[in-house]
């Protein structure tokens, strides 16, 4: 979640939203009651290894990506993004057999 200026303020999840009884939805403040303000963030120049560690150690399936200088939210990485990056890296690093030309 970001404020009107795009500054990252916290994260929530469907799991947290489901803890609020439906009859309280109209009166529940997202910022006050279901937003995790202590959520970790990463910057665009951080490694995917850091993203993987953050996802493994947190109670969320997403890691917000913020601008390093302004804290503006610029994206969100999910655990499926991390797994896809890992698969792409494996494919890229997969050795390919050399072609031998006999003359």
The domain tally of the chain equals 1
In a domain, 51, yes or no: yes
Which alpha helices (H) appear in 1-103, and where do they start and end? Answer: 14-17, 48-57, 79-93
| Region 15-21 average pLDDT | 83
Which range of residues forms the domain containing residue 58?
14-80
CB neighbours (10 Å) of residue 78? 14
Strand order in the sheet with 42-43: 42-43, 62-66, 73-78
| Region 11-15 average pLDDT | 80
The tens digit of pLDDT for each residue in 38-62 reads 888 899 899 888 888 888 887 778 8
In a domain, 2, yes or no: no
CATH number at residue 40: 3.10.580.10
In a domain, 1, yes or no: no
Which residue's structure tokens are 């610029």? 74
């Amino acid at each position: 979640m970001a404020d009107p200026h795009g500054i990252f303020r916290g994260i929530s999840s469907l799991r947290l939203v489901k803890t609020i009884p439906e009859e309280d939805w109209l009166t529940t403040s997202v910022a006050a009651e279901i937003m995790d303000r202590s959520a970790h963030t990463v910057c665009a120049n951080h490694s995917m290894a850091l993203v993987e560690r953050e996802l493994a150690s947190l109670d969320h399936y997403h890691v917000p990506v913020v601008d390093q200088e302004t804290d503006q939210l610029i994206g969100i990485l999910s655990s499926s993004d991390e797994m896809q990056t890992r698969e792409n890296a494996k494919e890229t690093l997969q050795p390919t057999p050399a072609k031998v030309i006999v003359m």
